[in-house]
Structure 1
């Protein structure tokens, strides 16, 4: 059992924890083999303070919030979002937290589920390949609901978000690559632990209860990559947010789980794959924070299609390509890109997971940052081009890299390789681009004036406002 007298501000020492035994136990890492890993990661997260974060990390946290809000508000128009909202309203519940873009409130767990689903339904939200997946859509919804209900200042939200974000990325490093490769959607599984840690931080839980929150989230963690292209994928984000929030609230009330859930026998790491790398989980990332490697999407599709879009766009522009000027296209991508290799998509959701469709849109010069583009991507003119594109998946290539080969009608052979896993160097320019994206996708739902109010609030001094102040601007357009 962990020392219940440990306070929020103290980093714990790794220590022996209760563990079960079972067949093949000699080959299973004990808590000590991971250096008390759950304890150590929770302790590091609990130390995060707003004023101790570098300015770029604070800026990125606000950019993640801005980007998340835009995706969530725009996502409320999608059928999956409406269905989840209707189910939550049928349940009834205390009006504790806002459903963004809708002007109504639900209980905190309900808001986490609805807002999390809405924020991921467009597949336009940010990414970090340390996870590998979408940290913000798993962490923000539950944390936002909790912060709004508690009237927390934005500075506390930022610190808690970074604490959850860093924990999720470290757990991603712990179980990579087997966890993702075996079919688990890391946004759903690892994201639930990031959500739990963020909420534990905002609640100022002591170390023991924070570890129990991680254990409760670990035992609820679920989500299959086989669901990509269906409504179940965005539901994963809502489920992760809800599970993390509920886990922290239960732990606060005294609900007990194991305190070594990451490393114990048949715990999270071993149950979800064959990889267990505590050294990688504890190593320091470039710049000291994983959030500095956050990648924002500026194409409204699966992140693993982005390099193919960029490569095809560059070839089209440099060589003035048109559908009539080429005789063939081949795309080389990593073996894990089976997630975005739907051959004949029939819905807008499926087109976002089709390398062929993405490349066809780029060849046609369509604006893949516009949501409407993907609504039309299943039409015959686009799919006629897509059917003549060949995709080859190669072991050893990552999720973010693609090479596009074009055989031109004049017998030229053209080639372009892009790896989109490159964080922006100019963070100020990135912030402006995120703000522009927010306005473009949120204004049709809440209006340009409210978009401006939200952006001004987020850009203001982070000690001067609370989350309820922000959420008052996030309802339907005022008349």
Structure 2
């Protein structure tokens, strides 16, 4: 069989690089970012735990039964580890408010933490071990993304689902101490089960992608531990993951160490509860409205310029549901120009999707797509009936340099989401546990504090 590279060369080298990573070896920013990612993930998960799609999925999984091994958000009932990973991963991505990394592009954290924390409960892992597993999974995800970029994503695969499965597998392999060969087999098992279509954006299936990736990764690692066989070069072999999932194969990019040392340093947090490619437009809308104080009825026309690829990601012209609003540049622009708090998930609801007032604003928004702008960049021009004309430009693809300020904003978002569910005292206790994660003798106390 013809291979794209020498047998196991890519997979083996990648495994060698990621399985020795330790949060203790990086700068002080490294553990800080790991804990910020966990706090953000917990916040968006707790806030979504009672949404209707969650209830449907939870009912299905509880009916299947099994050993009560792991915590799930929003219920006192425990589930088997794979089912818990599936449910918690889905919950954490349901609001589409979880963090992103443009290397993917997509959501690294959701499938990795859903898998690792479910498995950590069963294995009795401590906080430091969870941190190293998360770091391993995150870096694996980004490296494999570079291997198949950009063709994988542009072909229509949702990388959170596909590559996220591989990152979750590596994370779980690290958590349970698999050797290099077993880790390579885990990646092979995960690679042959990956799936996820961008066509599902705007539906609950997008969130299910993250849950399925978590469950696939966990299953792959535990199956490999039992000795289940697989190819150990699944990433690069003929008819393997890269060959079937992309027209691109960039081994140098995948194996090159990132300039900052870790791909995690390019993690981006959301502060509006919608698709990341709509964030810049909403920032422009909020900024222009605050600066100039115009009312929605004063608006004559709005022009939004965004990257061409937004057409396949977030350009639903007439969203019918709150979920579809999250993937509509027109709808998210309308919300921001109406002065609505787009940091609150409840704003993205069916009632607002059908609101005559909001749809009147949306009808004035023209979207122009251009390859000249970055995927995370938008320009906005607002014309008023009195002849005034205002403009703004924003790029949300630049990580914050001030990690402490970023932590403050993530904590503020966490409390906004979690205080209404757990109360301020209990949410504060949970945040305190996250802050002491590396010292926790058992990571299970984190999930226990979510009840």
Is 1:213 the counterpart of 2:169? The answer is: no
Distance between the aligned counterparts of 2:184 and 2:256, measured in 1?
20
Verify the 8 A CA contact 1:50 1:156 in the aligned structure 2.
Answer: no
Is residue 29 from structure 1 mapped to residue 13 from structure 2 by the alignment? no
In structure 2, distance between residues paired with 1:216 and 1:381? 51
Q: Hey, what's the Cα distance between the residues in 2 that align with 1:302 and 1:404?
A: 18
Deviations 1:315-373 (A, max 9, x none): 22223232233321111111211211111111111111111111111111111001221
Matched, 1:259 2:232: yes
Aligned partners of 1:324 and 1:447: how far apart in 2? 38
In the superposition, the TM-score normalised over structure 2's length comes to: 0.96
Structure 1 SS opposite 2:306? strand
Pairwise mapping of residues 88-99 of structure 1 onto structure 2 (< 5 A)? 88-99=61-72
* Separation (CA, whole Å) in 2 of partners of 1:307 and 1:410: 26
Instruction: Establish whether residue 423 from structure 1 lines up as the match of residue 399 from structure 2.
Output: yes
**Cα distance between partner residues in 2 of 1:359 and 1:297:** 16
In 2, the alpha carbon distance for the partners of 1:459 and 1:273 equals 39
Match of 1:271 in 2: 244
2:171 is paired with a residue of what secondary structure? helix
Distance 1:259 1:61 in 2: 29
Q: What is the match of residue 186 of structure 1?
A: 159
Alignment of 1:135 onto 2:108: yes
Q: Is the Cα–Cα contact under 8 Å of residues 35 and 437 in structure 2 kept in the other structure?
A: no
Q: Which residue of structure 1 aligns with residue 417 of structure 2?
A: 441
CA RMSD, 1 decimal: 1.4
Matched, 1:104 2:77: yes
Structure 2 CA distance for aligned equivalents of residues 414 and 142 of structure 1: 46
Query: Judging changes above 3 Å, is the alpha-carbon distance between structure 1 residues 471 and 461 closer, same or farther for their aligned structure 2 residues?
Result: closer
* Post-superposition offset of 1:164: 0.4
What 5-or-longer segments of structure 1 have no aligned partner?
A: 1-19, 22-27
Question: 1:266 Cα deviation (Å)?
Answer: 1.2
Out of 128, 146, 168, the residue aligned to residue 141 of structure 2 is 168
> Partners of 2:448 and 2:306 in 1: how far apart?
44
2:438 partner SS: coil
Counterpart pick for 2:328 among 329, 334, 354? 354
Secondary structure of the 1:259 match is: coil
| Mapped partners of 2:231, 2:277: distance in 1 | 36
Contact 1:103 1:474 in 2 (8 A): no
Q: Distance in 2 between matches of 1:445 and 1:461?
A: 22
Farther-moved stretch of structure 1 (462-471 vs 243-252): 462-471
- Whole-angstrom CA distance in 1 between matches of 2:409 and 2:31: 17
Aligned match of 2:443 in 442, 449, 467?
A: 467
- State the match for 2:341 in structure 1: 367
State the Cα distance separating 1:402 from its structure 2 match. 1.0
Distance 1:358 1:46, change over 3 A: same
- Structure 2 Cα separation of the partners of residues 397 and 197 of structure 1: 34
TM-score with structure 1 setting the length: 0.91
Aligned to 1:410: 386
Match of 2:262 among 259, 271, 289: 289
Cα distance between partner residues in 2 of 1:310 and 1:264: 44
Q: Please tell me whether the aligned partners of residues 415 and 424 of structure 2 are also in contact (alpha carbons under 8 angstroms).
A: yes
Kept in 2: contact 1:229–1:353 (CA 8 A): yes
Residue aligned with 2:40, SS: helix
Within 1, Cα distance between the matches of 2:234 and 2:373?
Answer: 32
Correspondent of 1:78 among 51, 72, 75:
51
Distance in 1 of aligned mates of 2:299 and 2:322? 26
Tell whether 2:290 aligns with 1:317: yes
Q: CA deviation at 1:396?
A: 4.7
Q: Secondary structure at the match of 1:402?
A: strand
Contact persistence 1:166–1:290 (CA under 8 A): yes
Inter-partner Cα distance in structure 2 for 1:170 and 1:433: 28
- Report if the CA contact (8 A) 1:45-1:201 is conserved: no
Q: Deviations over 1:371-421 (max 9, x none)?
A: 221124312211121022111222353321111122232334432221100
Post-superposition offset of 1:461: 6.1
Q: 2:371 aligns with which of 395, 419, 433?
A: 395
Deviations 1:72-94 (A, max 9, x none): 11111111111111110010010
SS at match of 2:348: helix
Distance (Å, rounded) in 1 between the aligned partners of 2:237 and 2:294: 56
Q: Do the aligned partners of residues 155 and 84 (structure 1) sit closer, same or farther apart at CA in structure 2, a change above 3 Å counting?
A: same
Task: Give matches, 1:328-347, under 5 Å.
Answer: 328-338=301-311, 339-347=313-321
Kindly indicate whether the alpha-carbon contact (under 8 Å) linking 2:333 and 2:362 is maintained by their aligned counterparts in 1: yes
Q: Distance in 2 between matches of 1:312 and 1:283?
A: 38
Hey, what's the Cα distance between the residues in 1 that align with 2:188 and 2:292? 55
Equivalent-residue separation in structure 2 for 1:415 and 1:286 (angstroms)? 34
Q: Deviations over 1:226-273 (max 9, x none)?
A: 000001100000000000000000000001111111111111111111
Change (3 A) 1:78 1:152: same
Q: Distance in 1 between matches of 2:372 and 2:178?
A: 42
Which residue of 2 is the match for residue 299 of structure 1?
Answer: 272
> 1:212 and 1:447 mapped to 2: Cα distance?
44
